[in-house]
Structures are given as structure tokens and as C-alpha cells.
């Protein structure tokens, strides 16, 4: 797997879309980089851009964007609500996959050095990229903003890490660093008062506020939320005040907890939260956690689809109050999603059946087994959700919600395996089509065939494992679920059995072409064991179902 980092530069222009596009065009010239999001703000006069890719490509794209921003943006004429100090105000790098924070910090230092030397721009390092911990905090570096840096940069303790110690009136200075994933999040209030918004911000932000103790000394009273930075401001574009927050560690303070806490503090001051907005992109899990959190508060089942959890999160936090919230454009995993990985499961039922019936050999039995298994556990999950909301069973909602969550997990796994099995078959076909004219080509072809064959064994075996494991949920729903739906649990058991047995046929037929006999013997033995256990469990479930039906 290639290392992937994210870059989220903030440019001090939020109104002139032509300038913004010229900057983002530079990013898109770099091969290996994908532009995910461009989020301009009129009131802040600031645009947050998000792109990802291989580290080398990302820092090249960042350099070009910083260069272009310096050419197009005149900071001497800039006005905006957000703190800023340069045309490219801040440029963080964030590790996404297969790369450490330490490695990411080195790339940030490499970028900062190049910007300082080649563009003659004052550059400060921050967070993980800054070795001097006394000046690694962004808000401390930016204190005084653009207007104050003419004097600040001349102080020995504020000499830039790279570039000249002369403040550039047109371009300002920039801050480059490496940090964990940060969520920029604004909460809307039914007031126009910046002072009252700031009071709420001071209530919740980790830094809190200064107060006087009984001796009249200044002390800091911490806020209620850890890993949260916040200020209050008035947004003329919307005509309301907001709490503008940076959630610097969403494992410590998730989005939904920040929202709820601001609601409490606002209410205590006679102010109401009307909604909120996310700036830039958010990890999928942030919204899934939020959806579960608000469903639990309603004492409703959390074992619902990903789509439904996101919908609950958006509505509960009013993320669509100021404009449409499109998950496919705001969730980072969705932006990186490759549609080719879910070609089959994205089809309609009719199209899927037609594709299966066509002269194409894929999808075949492995994909169908996975889908049958997905249908089986979907039925059991339905029974769990119905039971969770059954009248008179209010005290058991959490028990069934837990079962539904487990069912959703198995359903999602089996759905993914539908396309994975067809992909495995296609890899074998591709390997067989490789040239075999020379001895070297023959060796390469044989190796590719064996690797593809092993993959084609492992995928249906995963189907077996998932379908068999899902039968625990099916059995529980047959035994304790809504009795009116017991037949659905029974059909679920039949589907799970068929998924296991069908997938095992694919394991066996693919194993016949694999040369590692120890691996084959081991996986066939495991498959036989799963098949036998499945048949025994199916018999138990069907006995429960038929006894309850009674006819």
C-alpha cells in the first residue's frame, strides 16, 4: 500500500472564485494528487482546500498552490473574520494511511524549507513539524495576525524557521506543519452578539478564560471540552453569531459531544443553537458515531444503515441549516471511494439478475453466495430492529439494538464480498492472459496465476466465515425476537446455510488449481468444519422457527 497524506491549506481569499480556481488548478496539475474539496467562506474571506495523494506529489502540489496564492492575493487589502497572517495562512499535512506522524512531519519540514528558500517567504513550522515546543501552537504563532507581524518578525524569538526575517506586505507569512486530523466546525446561534458567542466559546474551549480568584489574582478557568479551540464571531453572510471551533482530537471530543455541550452552555445563557456547519471534510466515523449517539438518546435502535446514521447526524446537529449537506462531497472516505469496487452491488436488483444471467462468467456462484448471505443477515437485522421498537418491549430496546448493530456489520461485510469475489475471478482471467513466449514471461505468468488463485480461494472462504458467524444473530432473533417475524429469521437461516455451502463449492473448485497443497488441505479442512457447524445450527434454528409457527 502506498503512503497517503492529506493537505488542507487555508488561503486568504473567499470571494473571488477566479482566484480560488487558479490556485486549485495548480494543485490539479500534479499527477498522483486528488483534489477532494474546495470550501470558500465569504465572511471569513478564506478558502479551505483539501487534497490527498502520495507525499511527494502532495508537497509538490502544495508548493505550487502557495506560490500561486502569493502571486494573486494581496494581504495589504485583505479583510475577514478569521485570524490570518498570510496569503497561504496555514498549510498542514495530515497522515492518512501507511505513514507515521514523524514521517509526515519530515515532509512538512521539506515543504517549508523549499517555500522559504525558493519563494523567499517567511515560514513557521507548527505542531509535530516544529521541534521547538515553545512555538508549536498555531494560535501563538499567529497572535497579532498580519497587522502585527511587521514588528513581531523582527524579534529574535520570532525569527522564521525558513525564509527571510522580513515580513512581506503583499504575501504575509505562512505556517506549515503536520498534525492529526482536525475538524473545523461552526455552531450557529440565534443571536447576533459576538460578545455572547465568545462567552459560550470560553465556557467550552479547553483554554477556558481568565478569572480572578479570591485573592484578586488572575487565574485560568478551563473550559469543559478537551482538545477544543473556540472563538465567537458574527457572520454577516448568515446574519447570526457562531461558535467557531477546531476539534483537534475527535477521539477526545467528537463532533456530537461538542455540539451538545455548546447547546447546554448556550441554553444556560438564554441562547439557542439553531444548527451547525462543517468546514471542509469529515471522517465517516465522526458522523456514524454522531448518528448512534442521537439514536441512543431517543432510545432507538442503532443497528441501522450507514445512510440512515448519517441522516440522523445531519438532522440532529442541523448540518443542513445554512445549505445542503451532501455526504458524497463532505465525507473523506466517500471522496476517495472507487465506484469500480462496488459495480455489482450498485446495480438494481433487475440489472444484477440480468448480469448474472448473461453470457459473462462473472458474477458467478461466489458473488451470489455472498449476496444470499447478505440477504439472510439483513432479515435477522430487520427482526432485531422491529423488536427494538415493539410496543411493550421498551425496556429491551438496547438489547435488540446491539443485535442489530452486529447484524449490520455482517451485512456490510458480505455485501463487499459480492464484488470482491468477481474481482478475484477477473484477476485469474487477467493472469491467464499474460504473455508466455519467453521463459521469464512463463515464470511471471505462473506466479500471477498462483497469486490470483489463492485470492480466489480466500474470498469465498471469507464469505463462509461471515455467513456462518451471522447465524448467531439469526438464531437469537428466532428465539427472542418479535414472534410475528419468526419466519423471517427462518428464511435468514436458509440463506446463511446456502451462502456457506455455495461459497465452499467455490473454495474447493479454485483450490484444485493451487499448487500449495498444505494451504489447500488446511483451508478445505476448515471449510468442512464450518459447513458441518452451519448445517447443525440451521437445524436448530429451523426447529425453533417451526415450533413457534406451529402449523
Q: Is 82 a catalytic residue?
A: yes
Instruction: Judge whether 122 and 173 are in contact, CB under 8 Å.
Output: yes
∠ CA 9-15-18, rounded to 5°: 80
The DSSP string of 63-114 is HHHHHHHHHH--GGG---SS---BSEEEEEEEEEES--HHHHHHHHHHHHHH
Q: How far apart are CA 421 and CA 416, in angstroms?
A: 9
CA–CA separation, 523 and 457 (whole Å): 9
Q: Determine the Cα–Cα distance for residues 143 and 175; give it in Å rounded to an integer.
A: 12
Which member of 39, 82, 419, 488 is catalytic? 82
CA-wise closest residue to 26 among 81, 65, 56: 65
d(CA 321, CA 145): 31
Kindly report whether the peptide bond that precedes residue 58 is cis, defined as omega within 30 degrees of 0.
Answer: no
Report CA-CA distances (Å) from 213 to 198, 209, 220. 21, 12, 9
Query: One of 89, 260, 421, 488 is an active-site residue; which one?
Result: 421
Nearest partner of 193 among 240, 155, 238, judged by Cα: 240
End-to-end CA distance of the chain: 56
Closest CA relative to residue 388, chosen from 378, 405, 401, 403 = 401
CA–CA gap between residue 426 and residue 158 (Å, rounded): 59
Task: List C-alpha distances in Å: 430 to 216, 446, 456, 531.
Answer: 78, 12, 13, 31
The CA distances from residue 484 to 375, 401, 479, 487, in Å, are 19, 18, 12, 8
Catalytic residue status for 39: no
Radius of gyration of the chain (CA): 28
- Residues recorded for the chain: 551
What is the DSSP-derived secondary structure letter of residue 451? H
SS (H, E, C) 467-478: HHHHHHHHHHHH
Identify any residues that bridge with 92 across adjacent strands, giving them in sequence order.
Answer: 177
Q: Reduce the DSSP state of residue 326 to 3 states and report it.
A: coil
Report in angstroms the alpha-carbon separations of 523 from 96, 465, 500, 534.
34, 12, 14, 16
Positions marked active-site: 82, 421
Amino acid at each position: 500500500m502506498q503512503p497517503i497524506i492529506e493537505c488542507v491549506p487555508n488561503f486568504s481569499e473567499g470571494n473571488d472564485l477566479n482566484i480560488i480556481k487558479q490556485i486549485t488548478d495548480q494543485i490539479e496539475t500534479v499527477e498522483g494528487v486528488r483534489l477532494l474539496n474546495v470550501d470558500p467562506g465569504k465572511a471569513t474571506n478564506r478558502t479551505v482546500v483539501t487534497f490527498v495523494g502520495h507525499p511527494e506529489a502532495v508537497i509538490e502540489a502544495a508548493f505550487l498552490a502557495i506560490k500561486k496564492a502569493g502571486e494573486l492575493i494581496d494581504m495589504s487589502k485583505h479583510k475577514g473574520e478569521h485570524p490570518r497572517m498570510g496569503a497561504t495562512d496555514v498549510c498542514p499535512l495530515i497522515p492518512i494511511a501507511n505513514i507515521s506522524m514523524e514521517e509526515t512531519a519530515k515532509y512538512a519540514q521539506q515543504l517549508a524549507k523549499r517555500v522559504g528558500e525558493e519563494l523567499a517567504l517567511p515560514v513557521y513550522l507548527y505542531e509535530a513539524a516544529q521541534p521547538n515546543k515553545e512555538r508549536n501552537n498555531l494560535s501563538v504563532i499567529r497572535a497579532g495576525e498580519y497587522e502585527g507581524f511587521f514588528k513581531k518578525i523582527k524579534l529574535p524569538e520570532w525569527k522564521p524557521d525558513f525564509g527571510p526575517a522580513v515580513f512581506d506586505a503583499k504575501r504575509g507569512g505562512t505556517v506549515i506543519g503536520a498534525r492529526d486530523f482536525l475538524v473545523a466546525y461552526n455552531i450557529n446561534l440565534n443571536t447576533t452578539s459576538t460578545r455572547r458567542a465568545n462567552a459560550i466559546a470560553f465556557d467550552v474551549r479547553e483554554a477556558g478564560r481568565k478569572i480572578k480568584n479570591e485573592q484578586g489574582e488572575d487565574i485560568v478557568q478551563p473550559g469543559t471540552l478537551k482538545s477544543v479551540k473556540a472563538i465567537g464571531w458574527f457572520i454577516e453572510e448568515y446574519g447570526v453569531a457562531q461558535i467557531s471551533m477546531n476539534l483537534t482530537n475527535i477521539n477526545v471530543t467528537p463532533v456530537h459531544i461538542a455540539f451538545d455541550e455548546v447547546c447546554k452552555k448556550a441554553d444556560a445563557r438564554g441562547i439557542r443553537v439553531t444548527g451547525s456547519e462543517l468546514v471542509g471534510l469529515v471522517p465517516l466515523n465522526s458522523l456514524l458515531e454522531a448518528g448512534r449517539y442521537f439514536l441512543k438518546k431517543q432510545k432507538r435502535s442503532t443497528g441501522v444503515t450507514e445512510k440512515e446514521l448519517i441522516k440522523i447526524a445531519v438532522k440532529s446537529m442541523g448540518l443542513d441549516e445554512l445549505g445542503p449537506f451532501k455526504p458524497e462531497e463532505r465525507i473523506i472516505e466517500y471522496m476517495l471511494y472507487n465506484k469500480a469496487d462496488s459495480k455489482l452491488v450498485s446495480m438494481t436488483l433487475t440489472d444484477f439478475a440480468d448480469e448474472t444471467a448473461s453470457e459473462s462468467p462473472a458474477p458467478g456462484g461466489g458473488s451470489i453466495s455472498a449476496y444470499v448471505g447478505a440477504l439472510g443477515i439483513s432479515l435477522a437485522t430487520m427482526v432485531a430492529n422491529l423488536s427494538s421498537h415493539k410496543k411493550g418491549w421498551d425496556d429491551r430496546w438496547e438489547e435488540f439494538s446491539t443485535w442489530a448493530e452486529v447484524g449490520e456489520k455482517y451485512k456490510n461485510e458480505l455485501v463487499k464480498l459480492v464484488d470482491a469475489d468477481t474481482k478475484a475471478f477477473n484477476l485469474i482471467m487477467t493472469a491467464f492472459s499474460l504473455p508466455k513466449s519467453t521463459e521469464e514471461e512463463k515464470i511471471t505468468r505462473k506466479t500471477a496465476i498462483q497469486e490470483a488463485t489463492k485470492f480466489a480461494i480466500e474470498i469465498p472462504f471469507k464469505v463462509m466465515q461471515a455467513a456462518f458467524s451471522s447465524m448467531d444473530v439469526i438464531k437469537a432473533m428466532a428465539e427472542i425476537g418479535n414472534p410475528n417475524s419468526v419466519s423471517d429469521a427462518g428464511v435468514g437461516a436458509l440463506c446463511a446455510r446456502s451462502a456457506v455451502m455455495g461459497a465452499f463449492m467455490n473454495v474447493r473448485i479454485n483450490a484444485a488449481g493451487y499448487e500449495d497443497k498444505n494451504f489447500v488441505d488446511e483451508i478445505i479442512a476448515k471449510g468442512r468444519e464450518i459447513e458441518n457447524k452451519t448445517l447443525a445450527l440451521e437445524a436448530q434454528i429451523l426447529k425453533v422457527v417451526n415450533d413457534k409457527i406451529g402449523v
